[in-house]
Structure 1
Amino acid sequence: MKLNITDEFSRLRAVVLGRAKGNGPTPKLEEAYDPKSAKHIMEGTYPEEEDMIAEMEAVAQVFKKYDVEVFRPELIPDYNQIFSRDIGFVIEDKFCKSNILPDREREFEAIEHVWSQIPKANRIIFPEEAHVEGGDVMPHGDYIFVGTYRGEDYPDYITARTNTQAVDYLQKCFPNKTVKSFNLRKSNTIPEDNALHLDCCFQPIGHGRCIIHKNGFLEEEEYQWLVDYFGKDNCFEIDKMEMYFMNSNIFSISEDVIISERNFTRLNTWLRSKGYTVEEVPYFEISKQEGLLRCSTLPLIRD
């Protein structure tokens, strides 16, 4: 397989889409990896497997419409395999295996049929001390944007998934790129105050625009750097509740075509006003696990 990913929005040709089948029963509260999942477990509103299967099938149908080759993880019974972005990511022609929470290691084993097609010279495995998940990593031309958490209390946050050692290792692996990191706001208990990954508060889209939420960034100058880079008029600012509902976590099939959640009325209206084709899908149930469309897709090949 000849991988090619240099940005978030070039024409998609191949992708790993997670799976909801076999997701298993509602987890115990102590098994939750993020505050939003914990909230829905406590309130008895955690998503049902059949609803999540239907939501993911809607995305699969959009990929079929646009002639995108779709790989799915092998089924592991009673195991959450929805968020394929967490477990790996592609930069240029290299497949990077994420260094994820130990409890989730089996998720990567389920895409061995993809990993095995990558030449060994094009596989990157991070050292043990370098924690990274794909939701924090965004190739963008000459840049690699990376969400991180730089606080000394990093080990105290189950929501801090990418550390500074991973940022440094990425720069070592891709010396031709500028790795630009962003310190993200974390909370183990308040989902509205938690940017679990960079794509929970920011995402570039085609034609030089982006979706962004200021409060997801701990350092205003880093947020401002992005606004200046894209240009204020090209930034769609989402508010706190829009971030909570994951409005920045949409997914681009091309510069002109974006898959978005059907309830994102303000965002979808803006996208269409700018000339994008918006493929609306139901994804509200999956969003209860603090992930949405970008989180459940792992692009392999873009033109």
Structure 2
Amino acid sequence: MLQLNVKNESSRLRAVVLGSAVNNGPTPSAAEAYDPKSLEHILAGTYPVEADMVAEMEAFNTVFEKYGVTVFRPQMIENYNQIFARDIGFVIDDIFIKANILPDRERELDAIQYVIDQIDPVKVVRPPEEVHIEGGDVIVHNEYIFIGTYKGSDYKDYITARTNMQGVEYIKNLFPHKIVKEFDLVKSKIEARDNALHLDCCFQPVGNGKGIIYKSGFREEADYMFLVNLFGKDNLFHITRDEMYHMNSNVFSIAADVVVSEKNFTRLNNWLRENGFTVEEIPYAEIAKQEGLLRCSTLPLIRD
């Protein structure tokens, strides 16, 4: 049995689900796009091709092998995008929470059922239908659980609004001993530079007490200030609108001092190194065209 344990974003990783780009299917039509960044690349004819995405994910897998991490991959679904494992489930403490994702993507959960079968069934939960929550919106930070949501009255009109307030309440009830703090995120169906698809698209803790943040990803300045006050402004790396668009906050921690990052994130990677991190740089710019990056591709199961 897998003894799940995830209490934060940066303790030493031992086991993870890494998505797959194999047999990814044809470029979607504009009508099939789930987010404005994918739509932008579909219309421009620059949507990523399978061979490039497979190569990027294998580079990620190689880093996991280097650090002795146990890696599970989803079973292949023909002609289907299975890159973003974070969307379909997440672990808090020792509980695996199945996400209520867009109905079209239910098969992605089936493809990791062999992993879920290795978890104590008592530790696997599925929220009721009205609860919307995706792993990219959930960040565990020791006694805190941070959750990205969208509080606009037009929530139902936004395919980019993935976690609702019922999702926040569900997590509060499931983890009454934790401090659950929700963040109202900026959403856009048409401009990827103004769309925080998930919380990890505009904020993520790294190391011990540091983080990456995009101020304009939060609809309320008070939400941004909460994080500034908690972490300290000097401990936060502030990314620009363009860096947010390229997914600079969506790196992935293998340990408190080891971060996997995209090789083109020059400013961020220099800051990480200056702050004592080992930065494992890999190419991931093609996958980034789908408004997801390294954290989105992973579903951590066990950390120290």
Normalising by the smaller structure, the TM-score range is over 0.9
Residue matched to 2:228: 227
After the TM superposition, list the runs of 4 or more consecutive aligned residues in structure 1 that deviate by more than 2 angstroms. none
Q: Counterparts of 1:200-219 in structure 2 under 5 Å?
A: 200-219=201-220
Residue matched to 2:265: 264
How far 1:118 sits from its partner (Å)?
1.2
Which amino acid in the other structure matches residue 123 of structure 1? V
1:93 is the counterpart of 2:120: no
Instruction: Give the distance between the partners of 2:176 and 2:115, measured in 1 at CA.
Output: 26
Q: Counterparts of 1:272-283 in structure 2 under 5 Å?
A: 272-283=273-284
Which amino acid in the other structure matches residue 260 of structure 1? S
Instruction: Give the distance between the partners of 1:138 and 1:124, measured in 2 at CA.
Output: 18
**What does the per-residue CA deviation read over 1:209-240, in whole Å, with 9 as the maximum and x for residues that have no partner?**
00000000000001010011000000000010
Residue matched to 2:190: 189
Instruction: Give the distance between the partners of 1:116 and 1:155, measured in 2 at CA.
Output: 33
Residue matched to 2:4: 3
How far 1:252 sits from its partner (Å)?
0.1
Instruction: Give the distance between the partners of 1:57 and 1:225, measured in 2 at CA.
Output: 37
Residue matched to 1:24: 25
Which amino acid in the other structure matches residue 202 of structure 2? C
**What does the per-residue CA deviation read over 1:86-116, in whole Å, with 9 as the maximum and x for residues that have no partner?**
0000000000000100111101110001111
1:51 is the counterpart of 2:52: yes
Residue matched to 2:297: 296
1:151 is the counterpart of 2:178: no
Residue matched to 1:133: 134
Superposition CA RMSD, Å? 0.4
Instruction: Give the distance between the partners of 1:39 and 1:52, measured in 2 at CA.
Output: 18
Instruction: Give the distance between the partners of 2:254 and 2:71, measured in 1 at CA.
Output: 12
Instruction: Give the distance between the partners of 1:105 and 1:76, measured in 2 at CA.
Output: 12
Instruction: Give the distance between the partners of 1:103 and 1:32, measured in 2 at CA.
Output: 12
How far 1:207 sits from its partner (Å)?
1.9
SS at 1:169's partner residue? helix
SS at 2:286's partner residue? helix
Residue matched to 1:84: 85
How far 1:178 sits from its partner (Å)?
1.1
Instruction: Give the distance between the partners of 1:295 and 1:258, measured in 2 at CA.
Output: 14
1:111 is the counterpart of 2:95: no
Instruction: Give the distance between the partners of 1:256 and 1:65, measured in 2 at CA.
Output: 15
How far 1:184 sits from its partner (Å)?
0.1
How far 1:120 sits from its partner (Å)?
1.5
How far 1:49 sits from its partner (Å)?
0.1
How far 1:117 sits from its partner (Å)?
1.1
Instruction: Give the distance between the partners of 1:285 and 1:258, measured in 2 at CA.
Output: 19
How far 1:247 sits from its partner (Å)?
0.1
How far 1:119 sits from its partner (Å)?
1.2
How far 1:124 sits from its partner (Å)?
1.3
Instruction: Give the distance between the partners of 1:179 and 1:97, measured in 2 at CA.
Output: 18
Instruction: Give the distance between the partners of 1:207 and 1:85, measured in 2 at CA.
Output: 22
Instruction: Give the distance between the partners of 1:143 and 1:125, measured in 2 at CA.
Output: 21
Instruction: Give the distance between the partners of 2:292 and 2:51, measured in 1 at CA.
Output: 17
Seq. identity, %? 65
Which amino acid in the other structure matches residue 284 of structure 1? A
Which amino acid in the other structure matches residue 258 of structure 1? V
Which amino acid in the other structure matches residue 167 of structure 2? A
Instruction: Give the distance between the partners of 2:150 and 2:116, measured in 1 at CA.
Output: 28
**What does the per-residue CA deviation read over 1:137-192, in whole Å, with 9 as the maximum and x for residues that have no partner?**
01111110000001110000000000000000000001111110000000011000
SS at 2:290's partner residue? coil
SS at 1:288's partner residue? helix
SS at 2:125's partner residue? strand
Which amino acid in the other structure matches residue 66 of structure 1? Y
SS at 1:295's partner residue? helix
1:239 is the counterpart of 2:240: yes
Instruction: Give the distance between the partners of 1:122 and 1:177, measured in 2 at CA.
Output: 17
